[in-house]
Structures are given as structure tokens and as C-alpha cells.
Amino acid sequence: MDDLVKQAMAKWPNVPDCYGWLGLDERGHWYLRDDAAQAIGSFQSGLPGAKGSLLQHDKLIEFIHRNYAVDEHGAWFFQNGPQRVYVELALTPWIWRLSDDFQLTSQTRQSTSVNACYTDAQGRVYFQTPLGLGLLHTLDVGLAAEGLTQGLWQLENLSAADLQTQFAFRQSPAADKKKPL
């Protein structure tokens, strides 16, 4: 976490949290969700316009990456100065890219190792790592198949409906805020 962010948190400790305004999609892209996008539906709904606006400002994206964390309830957030901006996840808190030498890197550009490899009924590929569970970017599924053929990982099945419970994270902190945890 940035030092300036830590200083802001100490200076203003009681800033209310923000819900529903930031989303992470299945390809590792960040979306800003204004009132209009939120009124259309949840980030996970798939409704046109519900995702919001794709963030394209490199410095802002880098700032989000450096200050991306998880709370004690498994809800992921971006610490924006003294304010926590909770992230709506399309599916998982991490989106992995796989290099030609089978190394995993997250959307925040953190390298990690594989603890387990999974697939669901839709054919999506997930990796459990020391950082947590993440979805493999669709462009890298063919490369993952090569790694499986080489015996780098054992493929296990999982249910996408059980991801949050099995791996202790929250896809929608905004929806969870409306009901008891």
C-alpha cells in the first residue's frame, strides 16, 4: 500500500466506505460504475451498460493495483486514500495471465505459483495460488492445456456457484452490505 494512502488513513480514520462504484471483469479490466450503470443492474448481471465505463488511465490503474487488498470478510477493495472502495467482481478477485514458461501473473502484475488447477462446467480454468483463487484469462486457456498435458498440474472440477463459499471471497460487497454477513 502506498505511504500517502497510509498517511491519509491515519489522518482521516472515519471516512465511509464506498460500494458498487468499481468493478473487475473476467479479463482483468477495471470499470467505473456511476449511478446510471448501477441503476441498470449488478456488475455480474451481464446487462448492457451495467458494467459501467472501462478505466483506461494507466496511472489510476497502477494506483488501484498497488492498493488492492481484501478485508476480514473476503471482500476485495481498493484503498483510495482514507476511503475503501469495494470492488464488484465479475467472478474472482484475481485474473491470471500465463506466460510461455507457465508462470502466473495477476492483473496487478504480481507473480505467483500454482497450488491447484480447476475447471468448471463452462470450461473456465482457475488457479488457486498463495495470493488466492483466480480465473485464467481466456487467451491463455490453450497454454494451460499444454501445461496440463505436460503434467504440470492436476485438473480438478469445481462448481462456479460455490466459488465464494469454497474460497472465502465476496463477489458483490454492495449486495452483501444489504444483508447480514
pTM of the model: 0.89
pLDDT at 165: 94
Cβ neighbours of 178 (radius 10 Å): 8
pLDDT in tens, 61-112: 999 999 999 999 999 999 988 889 999 999 999 999 999 999 999 999 999 9
DSSP string, 98-139: E-TT--EEETT--EE--SEEEE-TT--EEEEETTEEEEEPGG
pLDDT at 11 over 90: no
pLDDT in tens, 125-162: 999 999 999 999 999 999 999 999 999 999 999 999 99
Q: Using 50, 70 and 90 to split pLDDT, how confident is the model at 5?
A: low
Cβ neighbours of 123 (radius 10 Å): 8
pLDDT cut 90: percent of the chain above it: 85
HSE-up (13 A, CA, CB side) for residue 155: 15
Q: Using 50, 70 and 90 to split pLDDT, how confident is the model at 177?
A: confident
pLDDT in tens, 153-167: 999 999 999 999 999
Phi, psi of 70 (to 5 degrees): -125, 145
Report the amino acid identity of residue 4: L
pLDDT at 7 over 90: no
Topology of 3-91+169-177 in CATH?
duf1285 like fold (3.10.540)
**CB within 8 Å of 13: residues ≥ 6 apart:** 82
Q: Using 50, 70 and 90 to split pLDDT, how confident is the model at 181?
A: very low
CB burial of 133-155 (b: ≥16 within 10 Å; e: otherwise) equals bbbbbeebeebbeebeeeeebee
- Report the mean per-residue pLDDT for the chain: 92
pLDDT in tens, 26-48: 999 999 999 999 999 999 999 99
Q: Which residues make up the CATH 3.10.540 domain(s) of the chain?
A: 3-91+169-177
